[in-house]
Amino acid sequence: MAKDTGKIQPVRPEARQMGNWDMLATWIGANANNGTWYIGGVIAAAGMLTASTALIVAGVISYILLAFASYMGHRTGLPAMALTRPSFGVRGSFIPSIINLVQFIGWAAANTFIAAISISVIFKDLLGWPAYGTPGGNRGLIVGILIMSLLHLGSISLGERSVRMIERVGIVLVMLFVIWESVVVFRHVSLSAILAWRPSGHFHMTSGGAIDVLAAFNLAWVTAAADFSRFTKKKQAATTFSFLGANIGLLWFALIGLVATIATAIESGAYNPNDSDPSTIATKLGLGIVALLVIVITSTTANAVNLMAAGSALTNMFHRLKLTPALWLVTLIATCVSFIPLFFSTFLDAFIAFLDMIGMFLGPEIAVFLVDYFFIRKQDYDANEFNRKQGAYWYQAGFNWRAIVSWAFGIAIYFGLKRLPLIANTVGATFVAMALTAILYGILATRNRTQHTI
Ligand SMILES: Nc1ccnc(=O)[nH]1
């Protein structure tokens, strides 16, 4: 007899309160943050033209996939990691869940740390505290991390409702401050100088390198999409508005980060992605308080999304855990993790290593669950089977080895392609590895189904 392994409840129709603008705000708010400025600064190493082309290409591809994943949540009312049960197996979905838990706590910590660096710069200017990186400089950073963590607790305190509120209020403030910030940045630099600038020596990045960094950065949101879209009423909110929001937030902020970094490199003669933060420029103009607010608000809206995704992943792993306590738990863990980069000599190295790891794992994982839902099972997931031992999604002992093998293959392919200059330096390894994984899983899963029906 089939047995339940735990409850997974689709969001009830009356609890579906998120409209078009909520989803637009959520995804603009997700990408409108210091981390995106920073990544703009990182890809500046490819030069202005290559970097901005890579930005558009990687953004459009990744967020089409985001829209598809988001549609899955809208249709089923289920969170993202529960939706990996039919593809990876009722037990197998534990693996994507752990990765989501780690990566979203990691993102929250990374964003917090980047914000804390900026906060420490501002404290230096406002209060004369030593700067981060100089003796005694950790004080501003630690206070910054604590400020951010308190705001995170506030934003997730009521679960999904408070997250929605923070996105609604946050986005208006983000818009106002950042339009103004953009004006400040572009007043300071000439476009022709920016286009002409090239990074020196070992910093140089190829177009493939930029696409891989950006793919990891963008795809990391795809596994959070359904955690929000399950609360949507209309399909458009889940698909079109999520796609647009994520792209607007990405392009806007990464371009500012890109331009600000290049501008600072031209002025100072040295390239440093840490200069991507326009609030540093604002502080130089004596607008420290405003800069502080921009950083704090933008990071809070982004981390609300990260913490929601991490908390939702935790509820897929421990069925008795409700969303709100799960959110509290992951927020406290994220606070602790935020201190880790203090022990790395350069934050950039840690951040790139982190991004590399996610791109490698997430790309093929996303390929598998999208192919499963749209091609193998033709948008027909049965909510009653999600918890069943020996049910439709049980496979062998709860694991779908075809999905897991395809995933492992995708990771291996990514590694292989990274060492092939023809791919790694041109279009990048991530999307190619995903396409190959999709094909392999499509073949393996189709064979499986035909054998069963014969
Ligand atoms: N690009 C990102 C993906 C996921 N989380 C983030 O904070 N940022």
Structure-model confidence comparison of residues 175 and 429, the more confident one: 429
User: Ligand 1, from 301, 305, 331: best to mutate by most atoms within 8 Å of Cβ?
Assistant: 305
- Please report the pLDDT score of residue 450 as a whole number: 57
Cα(142) to ligand 1 centroid in Å equals 22
- Please report the pLDDT score of residue 85 as a whole number: 96
Cα(103) to ligand 1 centroid in Å equals 9
Structure-model confidence comparison of residues 115 and 254, the more confident one: 254
Cα(106) to ligand 1 centroid in Å equals 9
Q: Is the pLDDT of residue 3 over 60?
A: no
Q: Residue 243 in 3-state DSSP? A: helix
Confidence category of residue 4, pLDDT binned at 50, 70, 90:
very low
- Ligand 1, CB cutoff 6 Å, lining residues: 35, 107, 111, 217, 220-221, 302, 306
User: Ligand 1, from 112, 221, 361: best to mutate by most atoms within 8 Å of Cβ?
Assistant: 221
Show the domains of the chain with their CATH numbers: 24-453 (1.10.4160.10)
Nearest CA to ligand 1 atom 6: 107
- What average pLDDT does the structure give for the chain? 87
Predicted confidence (pLDDT) per residue in 365-396, tens digit = 999 999 999 999 999 999 889 988 999 999 99
User: Ligand 1, from 306, 337, 356: best to mutate by most atoms within 8 Å of Cβ?
Assistant: 306
Whole-Å CA distances, 50 to 170, 207, 431: 32, 6, 17
Closest CA to 327 of 3, 101, 30: 101
List CB contacts of 326: < 8 A, sequence separation 6 or more: 311, 312, 314, 315, 318
Q: Residue 392 in 3-state DSSP? A: coil
| The two three-digit tokens of residue 131, written as one number | 């700067």
Closest CA to 123 of 297, 351, 296: 296
Whole-Å CA distances, 313 to 8, 187, 340: 12, 44, 22
Predicted confidence (pLDDT) per residue in 263-277, tens digit = 888 877 888 776 666
Whole-Å CA distances, 206 to 7, 46, 252, 261, 421: 47, 6, 22, 17, 10
Q: Is residue 32 a contact partner of residue 295, using CB atoms and an 8 Å limit?
A: no
Helix/strand/coil (H/E/C) assignment for every residue in 113-142: HHHHHHHHHHHHHHHCCCCCCCCCCHHHHH
Per-residue DSSP letter, 373: I
Tell me the C-alpha distance between 299 and 360, whole Å: 25
| % of the chain at pLDDT higher than 90 | 52
Q: What ipTM score was computed for the predicted complex, to two decimals?
A: 0.98
- Burial class from Cβ neighbours inside 10 Å (0-12, 13-18, 19+) for residue 78 reads buried
| The two three-digit tokens of residue 437, written as one number | 């994984």
Predicted confidence (pLDDT) per residue in 5-56, tens digit = 456 778 888 889 888 998 998 899 899 888 898 899 999 999 999 999 999 9
| Number of Cβ atoms within 10 Å of the Cβ of 361 | 23
pTM of the entire predicted model: 0.91
Confidence category of residue 449, pLDDT binned at 50, 70, 90:
low
Closest CA to 265 of 219, 204, 206: 204
Determine the average pLDDT of the residues in 348-357.
78
104-118, 128-142, 260-274, 422-436: which is most confident: 422-436
Half-sphere exposure of 287 (CA within 13 A, CB side): 16
- Please report the pLDDT score of residue 222 as a whole number: 97
Tell me the C-alpha distance between 161 and 167, whole Å: 10
Atom of ligand 1 nearest to the CA of 110: 7
Cα(382) to ligand 1 centroid in Å equals 30
Predicted confidence (pLDDT) per residue in 241-253, tens digit = 999 999 999 998 8
Q: Residue 207 in 3-state DSSP? A: helix
Predicted confidence (pLDDT) per residue in 53-86, tens digit = 999 999 999 999 999 999 999 999 999 999 999 9
